[in-house]
C-alpha cells in the first residue's frame, strides 16, 4: 500500500469520524415529544416523535397501545408518564395510567380517575389530580416512587351550571392545576363557569371558594405568570382570556382571542406563557390559529397577531423546554406542526409538519 492510498484511507476514516460525531451531537441536541391521541380512527395509543435542533421532525413511533390517551403529564421528576383514558366505562368512570419511561413505555398501573371522560391529569410531590369532564368532578390519587398508582383517594364533585344551553347545563371539570408556591389547587369547570379553589389535606379535597367567571365564558385551561402575580384563564365558549390577580383571584381584564373581522364558529383550547413571562399564546379551533400576545408589566395583554396552525382544530400545543419552538396538534387534519419562536418578538415561523392520527396532546420530554 503506497503513501497516497494510506493518506486517502486516513482521510476517509477522519471524515467518517466527523460525521458520526455530528450525528451524535444532533442526537444529543434533539427533542423527544410524547403525543396523546384519540383512538377512534387509526391511532393505537401513545406515540413518541423526535425533533432535531432545527425543528425538523423524525419518525413517529408507537410507545404504548391504550384507549383515548388524550392528556399526558410526567411524574416523579420525569421518570414516569401519566395518561388518562378519556372513556366512560360500564361503571361510569374513566381511568388514569402510569408508565415506566424507557425505549418503550411499560404500563405499571391503571386506576379509576373518579369520573366519566377524564380530560386532564397533573402530578406534584406524588399527588395526582384528574379532571373528569362528563363526571363534572376532580379525582385525587397518589403515585409512589416506582410509578405505581394508588386507588382513588377522593373525589370533589362539582355542582352548578352556566348560561350556555347545551354546554353549561351541568358541571364539566376541564382541568385542575397546582398553583405554584401556594397551598391550593385550582379546578377549571367549563359547565359551572367557575374556578373551584381547594386545598389538599390528608389526601382529601378541602374546598375554600368558588370564583365565578364572566357569563358564558366556559373556562377550559389556565397558565400562571412566572412572577406569580397573574393567572390567565382561556375560555372556550366566549373565545376570551380572563386575567386574574394571582393572590386574590380578582378579575383584572378580559381580552378576545379572535380577529374582530372573523365571523365563523371557533372555540379556544389551550394556553401557555413563555418562561420569561413576556409572551402568551392561545389556540383557536375554528379560526385554526395561535393567538400571540405581548405581556405587559401590569399583567395586561397586547395583541401581536395570529399564526395559522396549518391544520384544523388545534386542540393542544406546547413550548419546547428552551422556548425555541412551539408544537401544535391539529386534531381533525391529523398533523403535528412545528414553529420556530422568536424570543424577542414572540412571533412564530413555520418549520415542519408531519402526519399523526388524531393528535390531541403534545408533551416535551425534559
For 37-85, the DSSP string reads: E--SSS--EEEEEEE-TTS-EEEEEEEEE-S---EEEEETTTTEEEEEE
**CB distance 249 to 230 below 8 Å:** no
CATH code of residue 116: 2.130.10.10
Question: What pLDDT does residue 21 have?
Answer: 45
Q: Which residues are within 8 A (CB) of 276 and not within 5 positions of it... i.e. 6 or more apart?
A: 226, 323, 343
Structural domain contains residue 91: yes
Q: Which DSSP category does 143 fall into?
A: B
User: What is the pLDDT at residue 291?
Assistant: 98
Question: Would you state the pLDDT for residue 23?
Answer: 44
Q: Is residue 39 part of a domain?
A: no
Q: How many domains does the chain have?
A: 1
pTM score, whole prediction: 0.92
- Give the domain extent around 149: 68-99+109-322+335-350
Residue 361 placed within a domain: no
Position 24 scores a pLDDT of 43
Label residue 88 by pLDDT band (50, 70, 90): confident
CB atoms within 10 A of CB 129: 28
Mean pLDDT of the chain: 93
Q: pLDDT tens digit string along 179-200?
A: 999 999 999 999 999 999 999 9
Asked if residue 295 belongs to a domain, the reply is: yes
Nearest to 75 by CA among 1, 126, 40: 126
4 has pLDDT over 90: no
Asked whether residue 133 is domain-assigned, the answer is: yes
- Residue 30 belongs to some domain of the structure: no
Q: Residue 366's pLDDT band (boundaries 50, 70, 90)? A: confident
The pLDDT value given to residue 92:
78
Q: How far apart are the first and last CA of the chain?
A: 51
Q: Residue 67: pLDDT above 60?
A: yes
The three cell numbers of residue 85 are: 383514558
The three cell numbers of residue 83 are 395518561
| 45 part of a folded domain | no
**According to the model, what pLDDT value does residue 136 have?**
97
271 closest CA partner among 338, 200, 223: 223
pLDDT confidence of residue 290: 98
Given this model, what pLDDT does residue 3 score? 54
The reply to whether 12 falls in a domain is no
Residue 216 has pLDDT above 70, yes or no: yes
Amino acid at each position: 500500500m503506497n503513501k497516497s492510498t494510506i493518506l486517502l484511507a486516513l482521510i476517509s476514516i477522519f471524515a467518517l469520524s466527523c460525521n458520526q460525531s455530528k450525528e451524535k451531537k444532533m442526537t444529543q441536541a434533539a427533542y423527544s415529544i410524547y403525543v396523546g391521541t384519540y383512538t377512534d380512527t387509526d391511532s393505537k395509543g401513545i406515540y413518541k416523535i423526535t425533533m432535531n435542533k432545527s425543528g425538523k421532525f423524525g419518525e413517529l413511533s408507537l410507545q404504548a397501545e391504550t384507549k383515548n390517551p388524550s392528556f399526558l403529564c410526567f411524574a416523579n421528576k420525569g421518570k414516569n408518564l401519566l395518561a388518562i383514558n378519556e372513556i366512560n366505562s360500564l361503571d361510569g368512570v374513566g381511568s388514569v395510567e402510569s408508565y415506566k419511561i424507557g425505549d418503550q413505555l411499560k404500563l405499571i398501573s391503571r386506576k379509576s380517575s373518579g369520573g366519566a371522560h377524564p380530560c386532564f391529569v397533573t402530578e406534584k410531590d406524588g399527588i395526582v389530580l384528574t379532571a373528569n369532564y362528563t363526571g363534572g368532578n376532580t379525582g385525587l390519587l397518589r403515585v409512589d416512587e416506582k410509578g405505581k398508582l394508588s386507588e382513588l383517594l377522593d373525589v370533589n364533585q362539582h355542582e352548578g351550571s352556566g348560561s350556555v344551553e347545551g354546554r353549561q347545563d351541568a358541571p364539566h371539570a376541564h382541568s385542575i392545576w397546582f398553583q405554584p408556591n401556594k397551598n391550593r389547587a385550582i379546578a377549571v369547570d367549563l359547565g359551572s363557569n367557575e374556578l373551584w379553589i381547594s386545598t389538599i389535606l390528608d389526601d382529601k379535597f378541602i374546598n375554600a371558594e368558588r370564583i365565578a367567571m364572566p357569563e358564558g365564558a366556559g373556562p377550559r385551561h389556565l397558565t400562571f405568570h412566572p412572577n406569580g402575580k397573574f393567572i390567565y384563564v382561556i375560555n372556550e365558549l366566549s373565545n376570551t382570556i380572563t386575567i386574574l390577580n394571582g393572590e386574590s383571584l380578582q378579575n383584572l381584564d378580559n381580552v378576545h382571542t379572535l380577529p374582530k373581522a372573523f365571523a365563523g364558529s371557533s372555540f379556544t383550547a389551550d394556553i401557555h406563557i413563555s418562561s420569561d413571562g413576556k409572551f402568551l399564546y392561545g389556540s383557536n379551533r375554528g379560526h385554526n390559529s395561535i393567538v400571540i400576545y405581548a405581556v405587559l408589566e401590569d399583567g395586561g395583554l397586547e395583541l401581536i397577531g395570529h399564526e395559522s396552525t396549518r391544520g384544523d382544530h388545534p386542540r393542544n400545543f406546547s413550548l419546547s423546554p428552551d422556548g425555541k419552538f412551539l408544537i401544535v396538534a391539529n386534531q381533525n387534519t391529523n398533523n403535528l406542526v412545528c414553529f420556530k419562536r422568536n424570543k424577542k418578538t414572540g412571533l412564530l415561523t413555520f418549520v415542519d409538519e408531519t402526519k399523526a392520527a388524531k393528535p390531541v396532546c403534545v408533551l416535551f420530554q425534559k
